[in-house]
């Protein structure tokens, strides 16, 4: 039996009918059509599907879509303001914090959530913040450098 899911994604309200077992990541990718969010394991252990739900980083493969009822979800597509990339996105570009890019949306969402909660994390806290995200390409250090640069104020928020 399908149920109604009302929530906002990147500021846009949606009303969608979903099966009780449908996962949040499925709704985002298949029904809303935002394919930036990836899936690397579907068992909550790689972080590729990380999105922000009411400001908190969650693994959207382990959240039922209906649990997102009434919430605001932000995906990687919601980070840029118009044609202005977010500070983290620009820092990732400058520091080569991605290679194949498959983990990148999840990495960006985990780091964005981290900075929302704790705008001045230490290096260790940054590493902890992305420890749930696997990256097979970069070796993480370039990601940590990018987040550090944002923390140091080297990238200003777009107006």
Pick 134 or 158: Cβ nearer ligand FES: 134
Closest by Cα among 129, 150, 151 to 140: 129
Interface pick for ligand FES out of 22, 29, 52, 59 (rule CB under 6 A): 59
75 near 110, Cβ under 8 Å? no
* Cα 155 from Cα 152, distance rounded (Å): 8
Distance from CA of residue 62 to its chain's centroid? 14
Give yes or no for residue 45 binding ligand FES (CB under 6 A): yes
Give yes or no for residue 61 binding ligand FES (CB under 6 A): yes
Angle between helices 141-151 and 104-117 (to 10 degrees): 40
Residue 59 interacts with which of ligand FES, other proteins, none, CB < 5 to 8 Å by class: ligand FES
Part in contact with ligand FES (CB under 6 A); list of ranges 82-90, 102-110, 113-121, 149-157: 102-110
Distances (CA, A) of 12 to 7, 8, 47, 56, 145: 8, 5, 24, 18, 32
Part in contact with ligand FES (CB under 6 A); list of ranges 11-19, 78-86, 100-108, 109-117: 100-108
Part in contact with ligand FES (CB under 6 A); list of ranges 8-16, 65-73, 136-144, 149-157: 136-144
Residues that bind ligand FES (CB under 6 A): 39-42, 44-49, 59, 61, 98-104, 135-138
């Amino acid at each position: 039996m399908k149920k109604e899911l009302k929530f906002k994604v990147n500021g846009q309200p949606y009303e969608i009918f979903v099966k009780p077992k449908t996962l949040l990541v499925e709704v985002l990718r298949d029904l809303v059509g935002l394919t930036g969010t990836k899936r690397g394991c579907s068992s909550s252990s790689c972080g590729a599907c990380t999105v922000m739900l009411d400001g908190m980083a969650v693994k959207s493969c382990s959240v039922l879509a209906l649990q997102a009822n009434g919430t605001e979800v932000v995906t990687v597509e919601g980070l840029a303001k118009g044609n202005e990339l977010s500070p983290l996105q620009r820092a990732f570009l400058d520091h080569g914090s991605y290679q194949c890019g498959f983990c990148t949306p999840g990495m960006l969402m985990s780091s964005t959530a981290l900075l929302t909660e704790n705008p001045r994390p230490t290096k260790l806290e940054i590493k902890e913040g992305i420890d749930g995200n696997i990256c097979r390409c970069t070796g993480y250090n370039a990601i940590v450098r990018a987040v550090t640069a944002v923390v140091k104020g080297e990238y200003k928020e777009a107006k």
